[in-house]
Structure 1
C-alpha cells in the first residue's frame, strides 16, 4: 500500500489478514482506525500488547497521539533569527563591528584605516656599480 493513499475503511480482506495472520481480535478490528490497520498489514506487525487491551490511539474516535516538541524554538525561522543575533552580538563583543555601524553611522572596526603611503619610508636607490663603469667606459 503506498503512503500517498488514505485508508478510510477496513475491507474484508484486511480483516482476514489482521485476525487470521496477525492475531488481532475481532472486537479490536471492529474499532480499529483504518490507517492503523493498513500500516499494521503493510509492516506485518503481529498483535504486540499480549493480554492488555489495544491502545486508545489506535481506536476510531480515540485520543490521537499528541506531537511532542513544539514551542517557540521549534520554528526554523526563529532559530535562524536567534543565530543571526548571536553572531552580531559576538562581532560587537570582539570589536569587529561597532554598535554605531549597526545603527548606520560609525566606521567598521575599532581603528580607522590608514593610508599605506604615509607609513612607508622613502629610500634612495643606489645606482649599481656596473652602470657607473659603463658610463666611464663610454666617456673614454
Structure 2
C-alpha cells in the first residue's frame, strides 16, 4: 500500500475542527492538512489554551520530523545526554587522580606518579648484633 500526502482540508474536517474541537477558522486556514487529519481522527481538542498554534502545525512551518535538528535537537536525545554525563564523570575522575588515564587506555599509568607514603622513605637504622650472640654461633658451627 502506497503512502498518500494530504494537500487540503475538507469542509467536513473544517467543520469538526471549528465546531467540535475548538479551533478558530483562522487557525484552520493556515493549518497543515496532515495535522488537521490527525486532529480530526484522534478528536484532539485545542490543547494550547489562549496561546497561538505552534509553528510546526502551520503551512510553511518546519517540515515533519525535523523539529529536533541542530545541536539543540541532538542534546534532546537521552542517549547522548547519558554519554556526555559518563564522559564528564570519567574526566573528573582522571582530573582528581582517582582514575589514571593509562588504566583507561589499558596500559601503564600515565601522567601522575603513584603516591608514596612518607614512612616508606624513612630509612631505619639496622640493629647491631651483640658480640656474645656471634660467639655463640661460632661455637655451635665449629
The interval holding the TM-score normalised by the smaller chain is: 0.3 to 0.5
Normalized against structure 2, the TM-score is what? 0.44
